[in-house]
Structure 1
Amino acid sequence: MSSRFDWVILLPLCWMLTACVSGETTVKQAAQQRWNALLAGDLQQAYQYYTDAFKQTVPFEHFRNSVQGLGLWSKAQVQKVSCDTSGSQCKAEVEVTVAMKMRGLPKPVETSDLIQETWTKEGGFSDWRYVKK
């Protein structure tokens, strides 16, 4: 009886831990893909990573006109992702590099900063979306 009880407790726990690791991996990939689209200037692709609520209230045309940083961003790399215990929300830490041309300097000056992004699970098993703040 004891071993059956152990399995009843351990199996959901293992599943939850696997879901967290899987969520972190999935969010890391999605966040990087969103940034890759932004860097490439593919705003239509980047827009697909936003939550349904955002897309219902902000039409693509408005989104396209409001994106700032296009052409200044030179790199973006997702550093780490951590999910909450529910497995339905994750924080992604992204290092974003901006390159600015400065008068009198032969090469653009680059500076980087870490930004925090929030991602939430919508709908299906792996449908993660970026939460615009």
Structure 2
Amino acid sequence: MLNNKFFGVLLTASLLTACGSGEDVLGKAAEGRWNALISGDMQAAYQYYTKAFQETTPLDMFKHKVHSGLWKKAEVTKVTCTEPGKRCDVDVEVTAAIRMRGLKEPMESSATLHEVWVKDGWFSDWRYVN
């Protein structure tokens, strides 16, 4: 009986820890997607998108549609889970370098983008909804 109680406490503690750190894990996933986009690793970035997106947009088409080189940095500023473990909103401050006629150096501009991330199932990784 003691082993069952210990197992129950251990399971509960691990589930609570997993739930509590979910926003941190999601923040790292969002930054991972942006780091891949910034570095031009479209194959790595593509892995963060939902299965539905991947089924309707082949990797070659994704590579053709997304152009790297514009973005300079991205930082997750806020993660809000409306349905913890299922759906979360992520705010990311993205800085882009824009070349403008008449200027020698690109002009940097930043904006906060709102992203939606979901989990398809209990053991699913977080996926970006395009």
Identify whether the pair has TM-score above 0.5, normalized to the shorter chain: yes
Give the secondary structure class of the aligned counterpart of 1:63.
helix
CA distance in 2, matches of 1:58, 1:24: 28
| Structure with greater contact order relative to length (CA < 8 Å, sep ≥ 6) | 1
Q: 1:33 to 1:47 in 2, by over 3 A?
A: same
Question: Gaps (5+ residues) in structure 1?
Answer: 1-11
2:77 corresponds to which residue? 79
Give the secondary structure class of the aligned counterpart of 1:84.
strand
CA distance in 1, matches of 2:15, 2:84: 8
Q: Comparing 70-79 with 20-29, which one deviates more in the overlay?
A: 20-29
Residue 18 (structure 1) shift? 4.8
Residue 52 (structure 1) shift? 0.7
Identity among equivalent positions (%) equals: 53
Aligned counterparts, 1:86-101, within 5 A:
86-101=84-99
2:121 corresponds to which residue? 123
TM-score (norm 2): 0.81
- On the 8 A contact 1:24/1:81 being kept in 2, the answer is yes
Give the secondary structure class of the aligned counterpart of 1:104.
coil
2:57 corresponds to which residue? 58
Aligned counterparts, 1:1-133, within 5 A:
18-68=17-67, 70-125=68-123, 127-132=125-130
TM-score (norm 1): 0.79
Give the secondary structure class of the aligned counterpart of 2:103.
coil
Counterpart of 1:109, as a letter, is M
CA-based RMSD: 2.2
Question: Gaps (5+ residues) in structure 2?
Answer: 1-11
CA distance in 1, matches of 2:39, 2:91: 20
Q: Comparing 122-131 with 77-86, which one deviates more in the overlay?
A: 122-131
